[in-house]
């Protein structure tokens, strides 16, 4: 029987802000993000003995967070009638004349329009600073898949932010331009 390896509390505690930031980026709801992080940490502590010694803690925790998030998405797809209590709550108000806030809002809207696996990957690499290899381990996909998804995600984000007509016709543009009439 293997001896019980106790987690180093300071090592896990140091990762909580990153996990919360990533969860908030995925869910856009602070309370739901905190619940997701709590579920992630509960699973991590329960599976601590199964963790490989050679694996880094951060990618392992992000993999658990990512899998827990994906499981929630699947569960919500099965029960589409379940509504969030805060659906009618408006987003944050934008102060007049502050372009930076408008651009940030456009960026958030564009991120929401991305496929979940693309948004997750952009947040892991762009915000959390994970390497491609760590992101591949966290999402459980090959390195080549990470690279191709990241390329597609960045291109899609660029198109959405520019409001170009090359955007997916099934998705609305962020700032619709003038319509040409002949």
Residue 177 lies in a domain: no
Residue 4 lies in a domain: no
Residue 173 lies in a domain: no
In the chain, the number of structural domains is 1
Q: Cα separation of 42 and 81, whole Å?
A: 28
**For position 17, which CATH number holds?**
1.20.140.160
Residue 55 lies in a domain: yes
User: Does this model's pTM top 0.75?
Assistant: no
Residue 85 lies in a domain: yes
DSSP state at residue 80 = T
Long-range contacts, stretch 161-165, CB < 8 angstroms, 24+ apart: 161/106, 161/107, 161/110
Q: What tokens does 73 get? A: 């998405």
Q: Under DSSP, is residue 158 helix (H, G, I), strand (E, B) or coil?
A: helix
Residue 138 lies in a domain: yes
Q: What is the pLDDT at residue 103?
A: 82
- 45-73 burial: b if 16+ Cβ within 10 Å, else e: eeeeeeeeeeeeebbbbbbbbbebbbebe
Q: Which domain holds residue 114?
A: 11-161
What would the pLDDT profile of 19-72 be if each residue is shown by its tens digit?
A: 999 999 888 889 999 999 999 999 988 888 887 776 688 899 999 999 999 998
pLDDT at 90 over 80: no
Residue 100 lies in a domain: yes
Q: Cα separation of 171 and 111, whole Å?
A: 13
Q: Cα separation of 177 and 163, whole Å?
A: 8
What would the pLDDT profile of 96-110 be if each residue is shown by its tens digit?
A: 556 777 788 888 889
15 touches 61 (CB < 8 A): yes
Residue 172 lies in a domain: no
Q: What is the pLDDT at residue 75?
A: 84
Q: Cα separation of 63 and 139, whole Å?
A: 6
């Amino acid at each position: 029987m293997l001896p019980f390896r106790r987690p180093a509390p300071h090592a896990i505690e140091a990762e909580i802000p990153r996990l919360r930031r990533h969860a908030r980026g995925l869910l856009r709801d602070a309370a739901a993000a905190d619940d997701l992080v709590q579920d992630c940490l509960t699973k991590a502590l329960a599976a601590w003995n199964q963790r490989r010694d050679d694996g880094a803690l951060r990618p392992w925790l992000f993999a658990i967070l990512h899998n827990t998030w994906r499981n929630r998405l699947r569960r919500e797809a099965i029960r589409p009638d379940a509504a969030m209590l805060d659906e009618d709550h408006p987003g944050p108000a934008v102060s007049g004349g502050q372009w930076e806030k408008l651009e940030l809002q456009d960026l958030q809207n564009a991120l929401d329009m991305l496929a979940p696996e693309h948004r997750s990957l952009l947040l892991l690499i762009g915000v959390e600073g994970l390497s491609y290899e760590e992101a591949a381990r966290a999402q459980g996909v090959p390195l080549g898949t990470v690279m191709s998804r990241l390329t597609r995600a960045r291109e899609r984000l660029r198109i959405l932010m520019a409001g170009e007509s090359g955007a997916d016709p099934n998705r609305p543009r962020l700032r619709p331009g003038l319509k040409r009439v002949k």
